Structure 1
Amino acid sequence: MMDSETAAIATAVVPYVAATVGAYGAAVVDRLQDAAADASVGMGGRLLRRLLRRHESAPAVRAAAVDLAEDPADEDRLAALRLQIRKALASDPNLAADVAQMLEQAGVRVTASGERSIAAQTISGVAVTGNGAQVTR
């Protein structure tokens, strides 16, 4: 089950991974295989590398990252990556704990509590909770 805490962690991870994918393009996955990549790919690379170590979800996360590399500004591709990360975290509590710890060590603290709560480091669009909400642009 994907609870609000898992969603919040995934939301916090995506900007780091997206920045790394944007910087290195489709080759980012190959670059992560290099043991010396830590310094050059930064936090996003370390997070993506940890996510890719979960064999069950690695193909979907990898595909979403490579797809995002084709057009890093595409919100749909970004959402697809966030969804795959969220699914991976929801499927593996140990992975979620590891990623949350990595974020905390980097100074990112994410807390979502209560029904319909939203927790995010950055919200770059409309965030709505509640019944009957309408957004007009």
Structure 2
Amino acid sequence: MSAEIVQLVKQAGPYLTTAVSAYGAAVFSRAENAAVDATANLGQLILQAVRRRRDEQGRAELETAVQDAAEAPEDADAAAAVRQQIKRALREDAELLAELARMLPAVGETVTVTASGERSIAARTITTAVTGDHTAIRL
């Protein structure tokens, strides 16, 4: 296994753990939530990206690992099973590896995001943001 995959999964670990803790098995179906911190949202995006790129069997294995980790948040083996699923996906899909590498801050990089003032928004990455009154989002 490449050192790059090991490093990326190690770096993604806290994001994955936080996402599974915040969302549980619903991590694959929930929309990003501005009320949940950026760590959980990034972990959710990582898990969704991996799930999207897997075949049916790979999706089922990832979902089972996430469900187990959500049901036993203190179980280090359950969290490791999620990371193992991510590693397997990354070994099989170089494009996924590049996609996740772009999502994560570079090793040693410090990201500071500050919002100040009424209706301010700050994030490293924003998918959708609405701050005005009487705004409707149509999908």
TM-score in same-fold range (> 0.5): yes
Partner SS state of residue 53, structure 1: helix
The question of 1:88 aligning with 2:86 is answered no
TM-score, length-normalised on structure 1? 0.67
Please tell me the residue identity of whatever aligns with 1:82: R
* RMSD over equivalenced CA pairs, Å: 1.8
Note if contact 1:38-1:45 (Cα within 8 Å) is conserved in structure 2: no
Deviation at 1:98, TM superposition (A): 0.5
Deviations 1:41-98 (A, max 9, x none): 5111111111111132322222211110001110100111111100000110000010
**Match runs of 1:1-137 below 5 Å:** 2-31=1-30, 34=31, 37=32, 39=34, 40=36, 41-56=40-55, 57-103=58-104, 107-109=105-107
Please tell me the residue identity of whatever aligns with 1:83: Q
Gaps of 5+ in 1: 111-137
Number of residues paired by the alignment?
A: 102
Partner SS state of residue 109, structure 1: coil
Note if contact 1:68-1:78 (Cα within 8 Å) is conserved in structure 2: yes
Structure 1 equivalent of residue 124 of structure 2: none
Greater Rg over alpha carbons, structure: 2
Gaps of 5+ in 2: 109-139
Select the structure with the greater relative contact order (CA < 8 A; seq sep ≥ 6): 1
TM-score, length-normalised on structure 2? 0.66
Deviations 1:12-40 (A, max 9, x none): 11210110110122222222xx4xx2544
Note if contact 1:38-1:46 (Cα within 8 Å) is conserved in structure 2: no
Q: What's the % identity of the aligned pairs?
A: 36
Q: Which has the higher helix share?
A: 1
Shift in alpha-carbon separation, 1:100–1:38, aligned structure 2, 3 A:
farther
